[in-house]
Amino acid sequence: MRTSIATVSLSGSLTEKLTAASRAGFDGVEIFENDLLASPLAPEEIRARCADLGLRIDLYQPMRDMEAVPADVFASNLRRARHKFELMSRLGADTVLVCSSVHPLAVDDDALAAGQLRELAGLAQEFGIRVAYEALAWGRHVSTYEHAWNIVEAADHPALGTCLDSFHILSRGSDPKGIEDIPGEKIFFLQLADAPLLAMDVLQWSRHYRCFPGQGGFDVADLVRRVLHTGYAGPLSLEVFNDVYRQAEAGPTAVDAHRSLLLLQETVGVTAPPAPVVPTGVAFAELVTPDAEPVASLLGALGFTRTARHRSKPVDLWQQGEARVLVNTGPAGRRDGTSLAAIGLESPDPAGAALRAEALLAPVLPRRRAAADAPLDAVAAPDGTELFFCATDRAELPNWRADFEDVAHESGPGGVRGSSGGVRGIDHLALAQPWHQFDEAALFHRSVLGLHAQESVDVADPYGLMRSRAVTNADGSVRIALSVGAAPSDDTVHAQHIALATDDVVTAARRFREAGGRVLPIPANYYDDLAARFEFAEGELEAYRELGILYDRDAYGEFRHCYTRTVGRVFFELAQRDGGYRGYGAQNAPVRLAAQHTVTGG
Ligand SMILES: O=C(O)c1ccc(O)c(O)c1
Ligand SMILES: [Mg+2]
């Protein structure tokens, strides 16, 4: 289907918005009146620019307070409409949106509304223009799509139809089933937006919190299925008023937006892109650092062994159990300090995973970095993290491990694969997102990788608020915790971490300490609170208190975890997950964040 986006959904000048929409692959735009008024370009120039960019102007909007008004007001409305229709002719736009009146003099009189809309449509017809009448959820007398359609039906004019907007319909809790009773050819336009489920004034909700389909709590796909059932053949058009997207760069927002429509079309069954190839495990986490020493000593204390070195690059492989950490001292680390730059994901079909990623607009990275390297399929996540699709030790496929040469090392108890620090593998990876890319990141991991997104949780930080949302595969062997801070400058909120899975966090923490590691100290008040909330076995709480171990419990099981100090942007967590615990210790995160502020900020 054709895809379109309202210029109000993107940041910048009209020209920037149009360029971003075109680059992201949209077929058309809704020109929002304010964007045109503020543009130095003449309507003819905008028309030409759109044509050059391969964009159709699918809609001009909005026209307000048109109908159900006293005769003198309506007369001046018609005068205003004539001006706008002339403008639309210059633009080459053939459909105008009229949203239901909020005029203080508007009356609750459907016959009057229908009569005036018929007259307006008659005028529009002279210009070859169609009028699409939309019920605003906060319209003075018309606030539901059924009501707007009844008026359109009564007006009975070929140049008058209705515009459906998923936000207005779903925010009011209207049943979208009734959409199927509207003839498809009378649905002149379809605007799509999702929104988080919030209990607030619907106008404020609409103007500030709309998001792209799949990023909120509405069942937009169900609504679209019903609209398609009517035979509607117009574009799927995004109209998202959102405070974050107003500020964020238009280019990435437009890509995020288009990705949401690609996923939506797949969900409703009108397209069949390459299926997602869900990752089955974490092959490695790669740190880049200007100085390997602090990272090496931390990994050593955690019980990791440096087992191999990359054949052509300054990259070491550190291993313990199934946990593999690459330490890269190449150019990227010198630029950014120590950070988590890449994740290797075990993939049943790396090439298929890359095809899926490409179809969903993920930037595909070059397969081969150096002549001798194994050609690996990789893409960049919105925050720039490189995701490698790996087939570790599968003979028929390129193997990242083959780029590494074993180095002499002392194997701990159980050999290289043994876990001298009690670490079994990687429990999860936590990635701090840029403040404006949180919703985009969740949609990216869901649509590109086929991961499931859990509920978003809010976590108090001493100097702000952190939001966190995990994306996982079905068996929990891939867990990525995405977080975002409210304060863009907050370093603790921006830290990333690697959580290491252990079956016995008390022993692992003790070994770490004995090996010279320093656990993040946790205040005594926290343990007094734990004692009040839970009953522990003899000596258990004392061990947690001594070792800085935090405790949580959910309906499924228990979680015990502690943290290392931070190197650059990165720290480690030792995590013991028992009995099917599903969370990430969010309950403890405020205490952890405060403790990290204390350590870094004094
Ligand atoms: O918030 C508004 O005023 C507004 C305007 C036009 C629309 O299509 C809409 O859904 C909302
Ligand atoms: Mg709308």
DSSP string, 219-256: -HHHHHHHHHHTT--S-EEE---BHHHHHS-HHHHHHH
Is residue 16 a known part of a binding site? Answer: no
What per-residue confidence (pLDDT) applies to 333? 64
CA distance 296 to 298: 5
Question: How many angstroms separate the alpha carbon of residue 189 from the centre of ligand 2?
Answer: 10
Angstrom CA distances, 321 to 1, 5, 343, 411, 578, stand at: 49, 49, 17, 12, 18
Question: How many angstroms separate the alpha carbon of residue 133 from the centre of ligand 2?
Answer: 10
Interval 478-502: pLDDT, tens: 999 999 876 666 666 678 999 999 9
Among 139-148, 222-231, 452-461, the range scoring the smallest mean pLDDT is 452-461
> Which ligand places an atom closest to the C-alpha of 241?
1
> Which ligand places an atom closest to the C-alpha of 32?
1
Phi, psi of 558, deg, nearest 5: -125, 155
User: Which atom of ligand 1 lies nearest, measured to the CA of 207?
Assistant: 1
What residues have CB less than 8 Å from 138, skipping those under 6 apart? 102, 202, 203, 206
**Average confidence (pLDDT) over 135-143:** 98
C-beta of residue 285 within 8 angstroms of C-beta of residue 322: no
Question: How many angstroms separate the alpha carbon of residue 237 from the centre of ligand 2?
Answer: 10
Our mutation pick for probing the ligand 1 site, out of 239, 243, 246, counting the most ligand atoms within 8 A of Cβ, is 239
Question: How many angstroms separate the alpha carbon of residue 270 from the centre of ligand 2?
Answer: 23
User: Which atom of ligand 1 lies nearest, measured to the CA of 61?
Assistant: 6
What per-residue confidence (pLDDT) applies to 372? 78
Q: Which residues line ligand 1 (CB under 6 A)?
A: 61-62, 97, 99, 134, 136, 165, 191, 206-207, 239
Question: How many angstroms separate the alpha carbon of residue 175 from the centre of ligand 2?
Answer: 18
Neighbour order of strands in the sheet with 386-390: 364-365, 377-380, 386-390, 339-346, 281-288, 323-328, 315-320, 305-310, 404-406
Is residue 258 a known part of a binding site? Answer: no
**Average confidence (pLDDT) over 115-128:** 98
What per-residue confidence (pLDDT) applies to 414? 45
User: In the predicted model, is pLDDT for residue 200 greater than 60?
Assistant: yes
**Average confidence (pLDDT) over 376-384:** 94
CA distance 374 to 578: 37
Mean pLDDT of the chain: 94
**Average confidence (pLDDT) over 233-254:** 96
Question: How many angstroms separate the alpha carbon of residue 99 from the centre of ligand 1?
Answer: 7
CA distance 492 to 497: 11
> Which ligand places an atom closest to the C-alpha of 207?
1
What homologous superfamily is domain 281-601 in, according to CATH? 2,3-Dihydroxybiphenyl 1,2-Dioxygenase, domain 1 (3.10.180.10)
Q: Where in the chain is the domain with CATH 3.20.20.150?
A: 3-268
Q: Where in the chain is the domain with CATH 3.10.180.10?
A: 281-601
What per-residue confidence (pLDDT) applies to 600? 67
What per-residue confidence (pLDDT) applies to 486? 63
Neighbours of ion ligand 2 (CB under 5 A): 165, 191, 239
Among 33-42, 67-76, 373-382, 572-581, the range scoring the smallest mean pLDDT is 373-382
Is residue 573 a known part of a binding site? Answer: yes
Question: How many angstroms separate the alpha carbon of residue 186 from the centre of ligand 2?
Answer: 16
Is residue 165 a known part of a binding site? Answer: yes
**Average confidence (pLDDT) over 412-426:** 70
Confidence band (pLDDT; 50, 70, 90) for 361?
very high
Confidence band (pLDDT; 50, 70, 90) for 33?
very high
Which residues of 295-439 form beta strands (DSSP E)?
305-310, 315-320, 323-328, 339-346, 364-365, 377-380, 386-390, 404-406, 423-432
User: In the predicted model, is pLDDT for residue 148 greater than 50?
Assistant: yes
Phi, psi of 119, deg, nearest 5: -65, -40
CA distance 326 to 305: 11
Length of the chain: 602
> Which ligand places an atom closest to the C-alpha of 204?
1
Our mutation pick for probing the ligand 1 site, out of 136, 171, 209, counting the most ligand atoms within 8 A of Cβ, is 136
Q: Nearest C-alpha to atom 9 of ligand 1 is from which residue?
A: 136
Our mutation pick for probing the ligand 1 site, out of 97, 99, 211, 246, counting the most ligand atoms within 8 A of Cβ, is 99
Q: Nearest C-alpha to atom 2 of ligand 1 is from which residue?
A: 207
Confidence band (pLDDT; 50, 70, 90) for 369?
confident
User: In the predicted model, is pLDDT for residue 391 greater than 90?
Assistant: yes
Q: Residue 150 CB: number of other CB atoms within 10 A?
A: 16
Please tell me what DSSP assigns to residue 218: S
CA distance 176 to 569: 47
Is residue 540 a known part of a binding site? Answer: no
What per-residue confidence (pLDDT) applies to 488? 62
**Average confidence (pLDDT) over 267-272:** 97
Question: How many angstroms separate the alpha carbon of residue 199 from the centre of ligand 2?
Answer: 20
Q: Nearest C-alpha to atom 11 of ligand 1 is from which residue?
A: 136
User: Which atom of ligand 1 lies nearest, measured to the CA of 167?
Assistant: 10
> Which ligand places an atom closest to the C-alpha of 61?
1
Closest CA to 98 of 557, 74, 332: 74
Our mutation pick for probing the ligand 1 site, out of 7, 134, 144, counting the most ligand atoms within 8 A of Cβ, is 134
Question: How many angstroms separate the alpha carbon of residue 124 from the centre of ligand 1?
Answer: 20
What per-residue confidence (pLDDT) applies to 464? 81
Map tokens 């607030």 to a residue.
200
Question: How many angstroms separate the alpha carbon of residue 83 from the centre of ligand 2?
Answer: 22
Is residue 405 a known part of a binding site? Answer: no
Question: How many angstroms separate the alpha carbon of residue 470 from the centre of ligand 1?
Answer: 33
Our mutation pick for probing the ligand 1 site, out of 7, 162, 206, 218, counting the most ligand atoms within 8 A of Cβ, is 206
Is residue 542 a known part of a binding site? Answer: no
What homologous superfamily is domain 3-268 in, according to CATH? Divalent-metal-dependent TIM barrel enzymes (3.20.20.150)
What per-residue confidence (pLDDT) applies to 602? 42
